Amino acid sequence: MSRTGCLLSIVAAALAAVSGCASYQVGQSTLFRPDLHTVHVPVFESDSLRRDLGERLTEAVIKEIESRTPYKVVGTPDADSVLSGRIVTETKRAFAENRQDDVRGIETDLSVEVRWISRRGETLIQRSSLPFGPLNMTVAEDVSFFPEAGQSRQTSEQLVIQQLAREIVDQMEVWW
């Protein structure tokens, strides 16, 4: 092969490599939509009778958004997008008892309907390539605790709230 042919082969290979990677980006911010900069998160509604559950979940979601995403959480509804949610179920059940029917293990469950829409009304959380329209996504988490070991309902609720907040922010990532 001549020197010119070899040089052309090298240039062609370099161009192919560079052009093949031109649309890729690196880093955490590439997991999220580049066309959005702000998110409004109103207090999550709650069908539960437990006080402050919606407020605690909202606070945890805001902390997750601010720490893991490039989005800025703003207090006005004229943001680029609005992430809203409703706690639809909150249950507590015993899963372990001793011979005297004393509860030894308890499970706390929370289910939340989440909706993230853009200012233009576009649904942003969607885990399917099929266009179903504006659907709410349901996210559920559960955690177990053991009263005998000194764990309380409050600590288990806080743990399940943190897990839910992480899961909700995970759903904000761009779907491939």
Per-residue pLDDT tens for 112-133? 889 999 998 888 875 544 344 4
b/e sequence 148-165, b meaning 16+ C-beta within 10 Å: eeebeeeebbebbbbbbb
Structural domain contains residue 128: yes
Distance CA 120, CA 123 (A): 9
Contact 36, 174 (CB under 8 A): no
On whether the CB atoms of residues 151 and 174 are closer than 8 A, the answer is no
Q: Does residue 70 lie in a domain region?
A: yes
Specify the number of domains making up the chain. 1
**Is pTM, for the whole model, over 0.75?**
no
- Percentage of the chain exceeding pLDDT 90: 24
In a domain, 10, yes or no: no
Q: What residue numbers bound the domain in which 107 lies? A: 29-170
pLDDT of 132 reads 40
> Does residue 22 lie in a domain region?
no
Q: Greatest CA separation found in the chain?
A: 90
> Who wins on pLDDT, 10 or 47?
47
Q: Does 63 fall in a domain? A: yes
In a domain? residue 18? no
Would you say residue 16 lies in a domain? no
CB atoms within 10 A of CB 124: 19
Closest CA to 46 of 111, 96, 95: 111
- Per DSSP, the three-state class of 105 is strand
Q: How many CB atoms lie within 10 A of CB 60?
A: 20
| CATH (domain of 52) | 3.30.160.150
Q: Are 134 and 117 in contact (CB under 8 A)?
A: yes
Per-residue confidence (pLDDT) for residue 72, from 0 to 100:
94
Q: Say yes or no to pLDDT of 22 above 50.
A: no
Return the structure tokens found at 163.
Answer: 């897990």
- Please report the pLDDT score of residue 81 as a whole number: 93
pLDDT in tens, 29-71: 467 888 899 999 999 998 887 788 899 999 999 999 999 999 9
Considering the domain boundaries, does residue 6 fall inside one? Answer: no
| The pLDDT of residue 158 | 83
